[in-house]
Structure 1
C-alpha cells in the first residue's frame, strides 16, 4: 500500500524536506511534542530521530540527498507514516520525561538533545507510556542514567570561576602562564622531522608503527610542529582562531554550544563547557583541577598539555593537506578518496558563489574545519586522561573527516531545501 504523498512528476526530484513535512503532517497532533509551532518536525527531531532511526540514510542512500528522486519519494513518505505509532509513543514519552525532569528540579542540558533518542528507545520497547503501568519508574531510570553520572557540572564550573575567593588567583595564574611561555621549539632535523611524520602516515591505516609514534612523541615532533602557530595569521589559517595571533584567554563566565568561538579564541569556561555537557563527565577531574590545568594548557604548544596529542595534531595536519591540494602518502590519499566520493562536494563546487549559508565556503574550508574538530577530539581525550595509541590513531583521523562530512552534508541539504521551498 502506498501512503506517501506524491510530490513530483515522473523523472523529477523533490526537495527532501518538503517530503518529510508532508508525511509528518499526516501523523497529526500525536507528534506535536516533536513538532514546531507550524506543525513541522523540529530540526532536532529530524537530526536525532527521523534520520538515524527511521529513514536511516546510511542504509538507504536514496533518502539522503537534498532532492529525492521521484521513484523514491513515495517510499520515503511511507517510511515516516508507517513509523507513526512509534513516533507518537516517542512524543508521549518525551512529555513524561519532561514532567519527571521538572519534578526532579533538573536544569542541565537541552531536553531534546538528551531525551529524544531515549524516548524512541522507550517507545520501541514499551509502546505508549499511557498504557504502561511502570512509565514513571522507567522515566526516572532514564533520568538517573542521563544525569546521575557523577563528576563536575557546568554549574560547578561557573560557581568556581565567578567566586571572588578564586577569581583573582585564577587570573594571576593565567597571567603567569602566558607571560612565562617559552619560545617556539625549532624544527627537528635529527630524525623525527617531516620525513618521519610521513613515514608514520604511510602505514598508520594498515600497519601502525607504535615505536615510530613513540619516537615522534619523545623527540617532541608535535611541539616543534606548532612553532609557526604564533606567527601572524598562522592560527587563523589553521582554522583554530579568528585573530591574527593567539592571545591570552579570559576566564569567562558563560558559554553556549551555538556561539562557541574557534578553539584558540575560547575563554577557559568555554573550553571546558562541551566536555562538561557530554557523556563521561565521571572521567573528569574536579572543577578546581580542571580549571587550573586548562589555564596551563592554554599556554602550551597547540594549546594542548600532552605531547602525544600535539603529535596527533601534526599528523592530522599533514594527512588532511591533500584535501586542498595533491594528496601524497597513503593516509592523505585515503582521506582524499573519502572526500571526493561525496556527491555533495561535487555538487557544492558547481553551485554559484552566492549559494545560501556559505555551502561552497564549507567545502573550500574543509581543512580548517577538520583541524578544529581534531583539536576538540584531542582536547577531550586529554581531559578524560585517555591515551591515543598508535593502533587507534587512524580511527581518530578518519572519524574526524566523517564527522565534518556529515555536518557539511546536513548544511547543504538544509540550504537546498530552503531554496526549493522559497
Structure 2
C-alpha cells in the first residue's frame, strides 16, 4: 500500500510537470502564477486551484493534508486537466493588471482580487482576443465600481465627520460591558481533550460544550479583565511552556485595552483600531451593496470589540479558544510531545514541510540574519493566532449566528489545519530570503 502523500506535494508536482510541458511547447504564460522556484504561488493555490479547480467546498476530501493514492491521483488529474484554462487565466490576469495600472487603481491585493476573475474569464472566453481590453475594463468596473457609499475612502470621510461621537460610543460600550463569569478550566480542558484527542467519536458533543455559555464566551470576556485566563486554561490542559516562553495572547497589554477608533494596526488582533477592522470587512467583500451602511458597520464593530474574543457568534468564539490552545502546542522548528493528538500531528506535518527541513539548519547556525525569523518560527502561535482571528472575524461579520451543527467539529479541525498551512506557506518565502541574504 502506497503511503499517503502531502496534498501540497501532489499539487506542486502536477503543477511543475504541466508548466514544464507548456514551456517545452513554447508557452510561458503560466510563469505569472509561479514562484521563483517554479511551483505555484501560495495565492494561486488559495485563490484559484483550491476553490475553482479542486472545488474544495464540494469536494472536501481533496482538501485533506494527506492524500491516499486514489485521491492524490484525482487531485493531480484535475490540476493537470485545468492547466490550459489556467494558462488562459494567466493571460487574462495580465490584461486586468494592465487596465488596473492604466486606471490608477491601488486598492486591495491584486492576486486575490483578479486570480478568480481571470479564471472566470478564461472559462467564459478562452484565450484573450481582440476585445480583451474592453472585457478587462468591464470586469474592473464590476470589481472596483461604485460601492454605494461603502468604499474605504467613504469610511475615512465618515470617521472624519463623526469621530467624536463614535469615540464616545466606544467608551460607553466598554464602560457598560458585562463581566466574565467563573471559569471552569477543568471542564473546558476535559472537553478539549475529547475534541483534540485520538478518538473523534464524541467530538461534536465536546465542541457544542465549548461553544456553550460557560466555556469560550467566559474565557473570551476574561481577556478584558485582570488575570491570566489563557495561561490558566493551558495549565489545566497539561500544556507545559518553557520558562522563556509566553502563552498565546491576543493583545500586547494584559488585560486587553480599549482599541482606538483610528490609527495603525497593532501586531496583535485585539490591538487593531475599529477603523482597521471595518476596512478589513470592506476589502474582503466583493459585493459591498449587500453590506449594511457605514454607520451600522462601524456601530457593529464598536459593539463587537467588547464581545468575547472581539467576535460575534458563539461558534467563532469557540473556534478562537480551540485555536489558541492548539497554537500553544505548535513547534515546527523543533517538535515536542504535547497533550493533544491533533496539535501533535499538525505540528509534525508543519515540521516535515520541505522548506523547513531543508533550511532550518541554516537558520539555527547562529547567523544573525535569521534571528527574527527563528523567533517567529519558535513562537509559531503569533502568526497562527493572528491569521485565525482575522479569518474568524470575517465569518463573525458575515455569519454570526452559525450553529455548531452547521460548523461541526470536523469543519473546525479542517479550518485549524488550513490556518497552519497558510502561515507556513507565507513563511516559506521569508525563509528562503533569509538564507539568500546570508549567502548560504
Q: TM-score range by the shorter chain?
A: 0.5 to 0.7
The higher radius of gyration belongs to 1
| 1:201 pairs with 2:202 | no
Which whole-Å CA distance do the structure 2 matches of 1:329 and 1:89 have between them? 42
| 1:352 pairs with 2:379 | no
* Aligned-residue CA RMSD (Å): 4.4
Residue in 1 that maps onto 2:272: 266
Distance 1:300 1:358, change over 3 A: same
Distance 1:215 1:332, change over 3 A: same
Deviation at 1:112, TM superposition (A): 6.0
Q: 1:401 aligns with which of 410, 413, 420?
A: 420
Q: Quick check: 2:204–2:408 contact (8 Å CA) kept in 1?
A: yes
Deviation at 1:333, TM superposition (A): 2.5
Classify the secondary structure of the residue corresponding to 1:377. helix
Which whole-Å CA distance do the structure 1 matches of 2:163 and 2:374 have between them? 43
Residue in 1 that maps onto 2:64: none
Q: Deviations over 1:74-125 (max 9, x none)?
A: xxxxxxxxx9xx989957963665446755x855335565346755876898
| 1:246 pairs with 2:242 | no
Aligned ranges 1:67-216 → 2 under 5 Å:
94=94, 97-99=97-99, 102=102, 108-111=107-110, 114-115=113-114, 129=128, 132-147=129-144, 152-163=150-161, 166-188=162-184, 192-202=187-197, 209-216=203-210
Distance 1:232 1:407, change over 3 A: farther
Q: 1:322 aligns with which of 303, 326, 329?
A: 329
Q: Quick check: 2:211–2:217 contact (8 Å CA) kept in 1?
A: no
Which whole-Å CA distance do the structure 2 matches of 1:199 and 1:228 have between them? 24
In structure 2, stretches of 5+ residues that fail to align are: 1-22, 50-82, 231-245
Which whole-Å CA distance do the structure 2 matches of 1:247 and 1:274 have between them? 20
Distance 1:158 1:357, change over 3 A: farther
Q: 1:413 aligns with which of 432, 436, 439?
A: 432
Aligned ranges 1:229-244 → 2 under 5 Å:
230-231=225-226, 237-244=247-254
Q: TM-score, normalised by structure 2?
A: 0.65
Distance 1:415 1:127, change over 3 A: farther
In structure 1, stretches of 5+ residues that fail to align are: 1-23, 35-39, 55-82
Q: Quick check: 1:320–1:335 contact (8 Å CA) kept in 2?
A: no
| 1:335 pairs with 2:346 | yes
Distance 1:330 1:52, change over 3 A: same
- Structure with more contact order per residue of length (Cα contacts < 8 Å, sep ≥ 6): 1
Classify the secondary structure of the residue corresponding to 1:238. coil
Which whole-Å CA distance do the structure 2 matches of 1:286 and 1:365 have between them? 39
Deviation at 1:292, TM superposition (A): 0.8
Deviation at 1:272, TM superposition (A): 2.0
Q: Quick check: 2:225–2:255 contact (8 Å CA) kept in 1?
A: yes
Which whole-Å CA distance do the structure 2 matches of 1:397 and 1:96 have between them? 33
Q: Quick check: 1:93–1:123 contact (8 Å CA) kept in 2?
A: no
Which whole-Å CA distance do the structure 2 matches of 1:319 and 1:139 have between them? 44
Which whole-Å CA distance do the structure 2 matches of 1:210 and 1:419 have between them? 48
Q: Deviations over 1:334-373 (max 9, x none)?
A: 2122223224434554323423372211210102221121
Q: TM-score, normalised by structure 1?
A: 0.67
Deviation at 1:137, TM superposition (A): 3.1
Q: Quick check: 2:96–2:137 contact (8 Å CA) kept in 1?
A: no
Residue in 2 that maps onto 1:369: 383
Which whole-Å CA distance do the structure 1 matches of 2:254 and 2:321 have between them? 21
Q: Deviations over 1:30-58 (max 9, x none)?
A: 99xx8xxxxx98xxx9665799999xxxx
Which whole-Å CA distance do the structure 2 matches of 1:407 and 1:244 have between them? 29
Q: Deviations over 1:253-310 (max 9, x none)?
A: 6x6xxx6632111110112222221244545433212211111111222222322222
Corresponding residue pairs, total: 352
Which whole-Å CA distance do the structure 2 matches of 1:372 and 1:320 have between them? 10
Deviation at 1:127, TM superposition (A): 7.9
Residue in 1 that maps onto 2:56: none
Q: Deviations over 1:173-202 (max 9, x none)?
A: 11111222333322127x842212222223
